Amino acid sequence: MLFFNRLRIVVLCSFSILFTISCEESLPPITGEFSEQIRLNQIGYYPNSEKKAVVVSSQKADTFHIVDSVTMNVVLTGSLSPVQDWKLAGEQVRIADFSTVSAKGTYMVLVGELGYSYPFEIKKNVLKEVFHGSVKGLYYQRVGIPLEKEYAGKWHRAKAHADDSIPFHPSSGKTEGYIASPGGWYDAGDYNKYIVNATFPLGQFYLLQEQYPNAISDNDLNIPESGNGKSDYLDELKYEMDWALTMQDTDGGLFHKLTTKNFEGMVMPNKALSQRYIVGKGTTATLDFAACAAQAHRVFNKVDPVYANSCLVAAKKAYQWALKNPAVGFVNPDDVHTGQYGDTNFDDEWFWANAELFVSTNDTSYLNPLKEKAMNFEFKAGESWTGYMRFLGMFSFLNHKENIPADMYAAIEKGILKSADDLVVKANKFDYFQPIDDFHWGSNSDVLNAAMIMAQAYRLDPKSAYLKGVQQAMDYVLGTNAMGISYLTGFGDKTPMNIHHRQSAADGIEDPVPGLLSGGPNSRLQDVAGGTVYPENPSPMQSWVDQEPSYASNEICLNWNAPMTYVLGFLEQESD
């Protein structure tokens, strides 16, 4: 294809009317300044994927050029689309479609008065480093160990929060005593640990391992466990699972969280010295844990059957507690003001727990309750930890067709395909080709959670429209968006530099910790009272600022990295 395009350039040179840049003209020099009005995936594209750049407010140029950034040859000249008025983005744009360029290389888009785009690659496995980076980001969130320079580079830090003797808050149901609850990952930009938002992301991480068990190998991530003969991915996930197991009470129920009473200031972990407590106990955390631990049994069974069995025992014990306590909600006690992760509807948690336990045990006592209620396949932005986990149960059913009743499997297959079809239609209609038009807290995770549904549809029925939908969702997160930014720290030319993340704010290093996904546009703007300054009346897709106080748009969180990792891993395995 590259040979054809170069031949085309030669043929058309004598007809310069077809070119914005004639043969006699030289290309504009590379100055190091790139146009932020040309929005594209700043990492790159797979050779056979659809490739589109969004050009904002270009009134003079009607054509665009794809330039090889090494040879400075024009490999494609194309026409920009007619002007489109995008209300969600608050922009008028034109589209540059360069899908026909498929040869390996590094390129830029050149548009008239706007100049060059950020460079991007086209090659197989183009997102491999980003994929690994999204998992390595979890290592930087580890609790209770020093991050050694050998593994953490310039982001090394001292040990903090041993969590080896944590008192019970009265909300836990206990009035005295302590437990050891070490390890795990800090949940987000704060230094607390939450069972709901540990087990829900683990469910998404485990899904990738079940579907693509060789996606990450030993020594891929440069973590302390590298070289132990096991996948670095499983090593990292086990670090969080080990902590989750410590939060199970002797009666099987799960404590809700391990936190301080108030969020710490923007200090390094070893300077965050407020007393930490075991807080709350409830049905949501317990069912999410039961589901996650049942998955862990399957994921770890081949590499550590003893550990895997202990996870299944814990899952069953948690489920039995939930049967006796089917609707114990969690609300922050009056003296606790950290993340609540509350939920008042437990249907999705019950579905997920029943599904995972049935798949792991073939015990129909877990399956029977699922036959009593209709399944909901509608994806809604903003559900996250309050509703999306029902999809995780459906995905696990689809992964184990041989054990699932034929009628239930057929219903789930039909429902997921219909949901994916709806998302494909939306993505082709909405601004920047993403499948949502309502921007909540963590909207980037909504985009990626929707992409996970399209990914499952592709695994069921490999239609190009499904794969395209997943690829476009990743393009959106990595730069094809109304902010023109790659939202994953450390990956891309324009990335968040001031995330709401205590270590990144306090470590004295200009670059934030890499591999962490910023939450993304949030039209609710909950943080304006806390010092965040947004543009006046921002459009929904531009309700994001690169400011450290912006916890509503620029914080990081485990349940945002989780679908990012899944989608990247899926694309690395399925794209060519």
| Cβ atoms of residues 225 and 190 within 8 Å | no
Provide the β-strand partners of residue 54. 39, 95
Distance CA 39, CA 418 (A): 30
**Residue 461 is among the residues annotated as catalytic for this protein:** no
User: What is the C-alpha to C-alpha distance for residues 315 and 295, in angstroms, rounded to an integer?
Assistant: 9
Q: What is the DSSP string of 212-276?
A: -TTSS-TTSS--TTTTSSS-HHHHHHHHHHHHHHHTB-TTS-BEEEEE-SS---S--GGG--S--
Of the residues 187, 500, 507, 572, only one is catalytic, namely 500
How many CB atoms lie under 10 A from the CB of residue 407? 9
Q: What is the chain's alpha carbon radius of gyration, rounded to the nearest angstrom?
A: 24
Output the six-digit token pair for 426. Answer: 């939306």
In angstroms, the CA 59 to CA 54 distance is 13
3-state secondary structure 123-181: CCCCCHHHHHHHHHHHHCCECCCCECHHHHHHHCECCCCCCCCEEECHHHCCCCCEECC
- Which one of the listed residues 187, 249, 527, 555 is annotated catalytic? 555
> Residues 68, 91, 187, 190: which is the catalytic one?
190
End-to-end CA gap in the chain:
15
Active-site residue, 500 included:
yes
**In a 3-state reduction of DSSP, which class is residue 347?**
helix
**Amino acid letter for position 88:** L
- Exposed e or buried b per residue across 177-205, where buried means at least 16 C-beta atoms within 10 angstroms of its C-beta: eebebbbbbbbbbbbbbbbbbbbbbbbbb
Neighbours of 429 (CB within 10 A): 10
Confirm whether 242 is a catalytic residue.
Answer: no
**Which of 496, 502, 453 is CA-nearest to residue 473?**
453
- Smallest Cα–Cα separation from 259: which of 341, 171, 194, 172? 194
Sole residue written with tokens 């546009």: 521
Question: What is the rounded distance in angstroms from the CA atom of residue 272 to the CA atom of residue 102?
Answer: 50
422 is catalytic: no
Q: Residue 89, class by beta-carbon neighbours within 10 Å (0-12 exposed, 13-18 middle, 19+ buried)?
A: buried
Q: Please state whether 81 falls in left (phi above 0), alpha (psi between -120 and 50) or beta.
A: beta
**Half-sphere exposure of residue 337: CA atoms within 13 angstroms, side-chain side:** 4
- 3-state helix, strand and coil shares in percent for the chain, rounded to the nearest 5: 40, 10, 45
Q: How far apart are CA 223 and CA 152, in angstroms?
A: 8
Report CA 167 to chain centroid distance, whole Å.
Answer: 33
H or E stretch at 569: helix 558-574
Going from the C-alpha of 86 to that of each of 62, 435, 541, the distances in angstroms are: 19, 15, 10
Q: Which residues are catalytic?
A: 190, 500, 546, 555
